[in-house]
Amino acid sequence: MGFNPTVKDLFGLEVLAVRSHLILALGGIAASVLAGCGDSPDARFVLNARTLALAPEAQEPVENALNDNFGTPTNLVAWLRLPVNYGGSEGTVERVETDGPTDSFVAKIDGEVADPAIYPEFHWLSGAYAGNEQMPTLAHFDPETNVVSLIETLDPPPKPGDRFLINAGKTLKDGRRLYMTHCVHCHGTSGDGNGPTAKYLNPLPRDYRLGTFKFTSTVRVGQPGDKVRRDDLARIVRNGIPGTYMPSFLLLGDDETVAVVEYVRWLAMRGELEHKLDADLEGDYTIQAVAERIEGKEDPKEIFANLATLVPQTVARASKELDAAWQAAENDKHVIRPTQKRHTVEQDPDSIARGRALFLSAKAKCATCHGVTGRGDGPQTEAVQQGNDKPGLFDDWKHRVQPRDLTTGIFRGGRRPVDIYRRIRAGIKGTPMPPFGNDVLNDGEVWDLVNYVLYIPHLKGESIPAITPEVQSDEKHASN
């Protein structure tokens, strides 16, 4: 017995089927023609819950700061303060044919020039026009003669040696287009992990706005360089995340992957700036705090006066922090690399037993959360952490998380031994999975744990391999 419909079952009443399909098809076409496509609203960035908890007078400067520095989904702002590769090619003015007003000049461009009809953005980096708020528009580029033509007339003309950016923001624009095609329905326009399909998913799509990503190759949280690297994001885009709804986008080309990764980084920085503004404002400017302050006899007019200086200060400091943090992650020295080579189980048959002893030990405490059998059902999953009103383990997004069930052999951050090594060494960011530094576990011990963790799915009810007496005594000692 089982539900196994045949074609005949589905189309049993053939005549009726023909009619109903006809009606449906025609109806569908008619409906969409009637509904029209021009009325849907523009995509919008939404404010996060913390900003929405601020008094309206405090919300406004936060929203303005975000708009000034990041724009809207249709009018993107590429803020050069941030370590984002917005794209475009740099060029230099070589020759200007006239002393008078002109709209064209001969240039030397480092790289290719893309279609001006799609990427008309042009930005002066030096010379008389640098720093102008109004950007000129690229009309045409002739690759034969290297003549750049703008729509606007330049009076006075630019000078040889002036630097500019042509197709400025091309990567950001491409990234945005790809994101709004492939990613938005889960991750949302703002990168809040709250797209239209998100509510049907478990686990939920990542909310980028904390600037925290779980599976990185970088050092543990709190150290310089702890952010996600472009490489890490690109690997996730290419491979997907096993055991979740994040699919592989291997069919995107290399350039497209680069663009979408850059856009995600940009969205994450935007979200982080909002959170940093919230962090500075919510102590004194939430709806509740303002009510308390008015109750405490403060002058309502005075309360918000400070924001005119506080918000720009926060933006300045936060952008500096973002710049440093995201740049540091790209520095190779912050990638976690084992100092000792892994011995495979064939080379070192006792490794699994030692790994198991560590797994159960008071030193590593893996079983506390992952359970003695590795099913992710350790006692900590039912304990009520102080500060919470519900039992269980929670992540930085305030979602309850289940420690990984290691018996399934599905590893979200990747199944290469080095992936698991990094999960142990750096912890899983944004979750209670802690990092195990050299002071707690040496490299040999981490590799023993990796070998054991990789072996757990193959246990299939069999007993754990015999532990040598030496290891047994270690385990006994450790659990005391």
Site for another protein in 135-164 (CB under 8 A): 135
Of the candidates 221, 287, 459, 467, which one interacts with another protein according to CB under 8 A? 221
Q: Is position 226 an interface residue for another protein (rule: CB under 8 A)?
A: yes
Q: Is position 187 an interface residue for another protein (rule: CB under 8 A)?
A: no
Residues in 30-59 at the binding interface with another protein, rule: CB under 8 A: 32-33, 35, 37, 40, 42-43
Residues in 189-208 at the binding interface with another protein, rule: CB under 8 A: 189
On whether the CB atoms of residues 176 and 73 are closer than 8 A, the answer is yes
Other beta carbons within 10 angstroms of residue 315's beta carbon come to: 21
Of the candidates 436, 447, 452, 455, which one interacts with another protein according to CB under 8 A? 436
- Of residues 434 and 465, the one with the C-beta less far from another protein: 434
Closest by CA position to 179, among listed 263, 252, 237? 263
CA–CA distances in Å: residue 219 to residues 120, 327, 415, 441, 450: 40, 14, 19, 15, 18
Closest by CA position to 366, among listed 312, 284, 432, 304? 432
- Of residues 306 and 344, the one with the C-beta less far from another protein: 306
Q: Nearest approach, Cβ of 144 to another protein (angstroms)? A: 27
Other beta carbons within 10 angstroms of residue 213's beta carbon come to: 22
On whether the CB atoms of residues 238 and 254 are closer than 8 A, the answer is no
Q: Is position 168 an interface residue for another protein (rule: CB under 8 A)?
A: yes
Q: What is the DSSP letter of 346?
A: T
- Of residues 305 and 466, the one with the C-beta less far from another protein: 305
Q: Is position 177 an interface residue for another protein (rule: CB under 8 A)?
A: yes
Of the candidates 1, 15, 34, 251, which one interacts with another protein according to CB under 8 A? 15
- Residues 146, 327: Cα–Cα separation, whole Å: 34
- What are residue 351's phi and psi, to 5 degrees? -55, -40
Closest by CA position to 366, among listed 428, 412, 416? 428
Q: Is 449 left (phi over 0), alpha (psi -120 to 50) or beta?
A: alpha
Of the candidates 405, 427, 453, 456, which one interacts with another protein according to CB under 8 A? 427
Of the candidates 45, 86, 359, 421, which one interacts with another protein according to CB under 8 A? 86
Q: Nearest approach, Cβ of 179 to another protein (angstroms)? A: 8
Of the candidates 64, 67, 81, 250, which one interacts with another protein according to CB under 8 A? 81
- Of residues 165 and 269, the one with the C-beta less far from another protein: 165
Q: Is position 75 an interface residue for another protein (rule: CB under 8 A)?
A: yes
- Of residues 72 and 239, the one with the C-beta less far from another protein: 72
- Of residues 325 and 459, the one with the C-beta less far from another protein: 325
- Of residues 67 and 153, the one with the C-beta less far from another protein: 67
Q: Nearest approach, Cβ of 476 to another protein (angstroms)? A: 14
Q: Is position 448 an interface residue for another protein (rule: CB under 8 A)?
A: no
Residues in 100-139 at the binding interface with another protein, rule: CB under 8 A: 121, 123, 131, 135
Q: Using N-to-C axis directions, what is the helix angle for 307-330 and 254-285, rounded to 10°?
A: 140
Closest by CA position to 169, among listed 270, 100, 86, 288? 86
Q: Is position 283 an interface residue for another protein (rule: CB under 8 A)?
A: yes
Residues in 233-272 at the binding interface with another protein, rule: CB under 8 A: none
Of the candidates 55, 58, 65, 76, which one interacts with another protein according to CB under 8 A? 76
Q: Nearest approach, Cβ of 275 to another protein (angstroms)? A: 9
- Residues 470, 178: Cα–Cα separation, whole Å: 57
On whether the CB atoms of residues 385 and 393 are closer than 8 A, the answer is yes
- Of residues 246 and 393, the one with the C-beta less far from another protein: 393
Residues in 310-349 at the binding interface with another protein, rule: CB under 8 A: 310, 312-313, 315-317, 320
What would the DSSP string read from start to end of 83-130? S-----EEEEEEE-S-SS-EEEEEEEEES----TTT--BEEE-SSTTT
- Of residues 164 and 452, the one with the C-beta less far from another protein: 164
Closest by CA position to 376, among listed 426, 450, 433? 433
Of the candidates 74, 202, 339, 347, which one interacts with another protein according to CB under 8 A? 74
Q: Is position 309 an interface residue for another protein (rule: CB under 8 A)?
A: yes
Prior bond of 196 cis (ω within 30°): no
- Residues 177, 43: Cα–Cα separation, whole Å: 12
Burial 281-292 (b: 16+ CB within 10 A, else e): bbebbbeebbee
Of the candidates 47, 62, 78, 113, which one interacts with another protein according to CB under 8 A? 78
How many residues are recorded in the chain? 480
Closest by CA position to 86, among listed 154, 167, 5, 27? 167
Q: Nearest approach, Cβ of 104 to another protein (angstroms)? A: 21
Residues in 381-410 at the binding interface with another protein, rule: CB under 8 A: 383-387, 393
Paired strand residues for 93: 107
